[in-house]
Chains A and B, each alone.
Chain A
């Protein structure tokens, strides 16, 4: 089956620093990747949709300058949290989809970000 990886799985950083999270589709080419944020015991909140080679489309209320998304290849998308603050602490999940078939989204294992 389709496998999506995320790196790192867990990161702790100091307030004011930037953190980059990678999302890779390991055995398929991901035309589209999605980034979600999830707080404990809550649902997934879509942050942005990125297509390979294009600018990401951000959901309403998501700061594009704070959450930089790059989808430079068909197997890699990155989310950079710039000038992180404690309120950015959360669980970040990516998913990847390829055109055709059911256009199913395959989810990565998530990255836990803690900002001190």
Chain B
């Protein structure tokens, strides 16, 4: 069974600084997707970034980038120039690319990120 592990329950970062959130996963699949979702206090789940396992290049979305280490099964999220609006709970998630729309997401426990002004 696939598992996603986020071992840090909480982190804090100074505004404008950089922070890295860790995630490891376990799977026997060779092709899959990895995601980071943000859940702010409104509790609306927001997709931050997606990584396809067959792509060697790390995904980047503006201030958000990932360090994808497939052999180590590691998928960390780096947030640069942290902003107050980045304060939220962040979930790492995994999915296999099944044909059709049935593929389930497996979530980590999440990490609460606070941003100090």
Q: Check B110 against A42 for contact (C-beta < 8 Å).
A: yes
Q: A102-B33, A103-B98 are in contact. Are A46 and B44 (CB under 8 A)?
A: no
Q: Check A43 against B109 for contact (C-beta < 8 Å).
A: yes
Q: Check A46 against B43 for contact (C-beta < 8 Å).
A: no
Q: A44-B91, A102-B33 are in contact. Are A107 and B45 (CB under 8 A)?
A: yes
Report the tally of A-B residue pairs with Cβ distances under 8 A: 59
Q: Check B108 against A43 for contact (C-beta < 8 Å).
A: yes
Report the interface size class on chain A.
20 to 34
Give the number of residues in B that approach A within 8 Å (Cβ atoms). 24
Residues of A within 8 A of B71 (CB): none
Q: A42-B109, A43-B109 are in contact. Are A32 and B101 (CB under 8 A)?
A: yes
Determine if B50 is an interface residue (Cβ-Cβ < 8 Å). yes
Determine if B117 is an interface residue (Cβ-Cβ < 8 Å). no
**Interface positions of A from 27 to 51, Cβ below 8 Å from B:** 30-32, 34, 38, 41-44, 46, 49, 51
Which positions in B face A, CB cutoff 8 Å? Answer: 33, 42-45, 47, 50, 89, 91, 95, 97-105, 107-110, 112
Can you pick out 11 interface pairs between chain A and chain B where the beta carbons lie within 8 Å of each other?
A30-B101, A31-B100, A41-B89, A42-B109, A44-B105, A44-B107, A46-B105, A93-B45, A99-B100, A99-B101, A103-B100
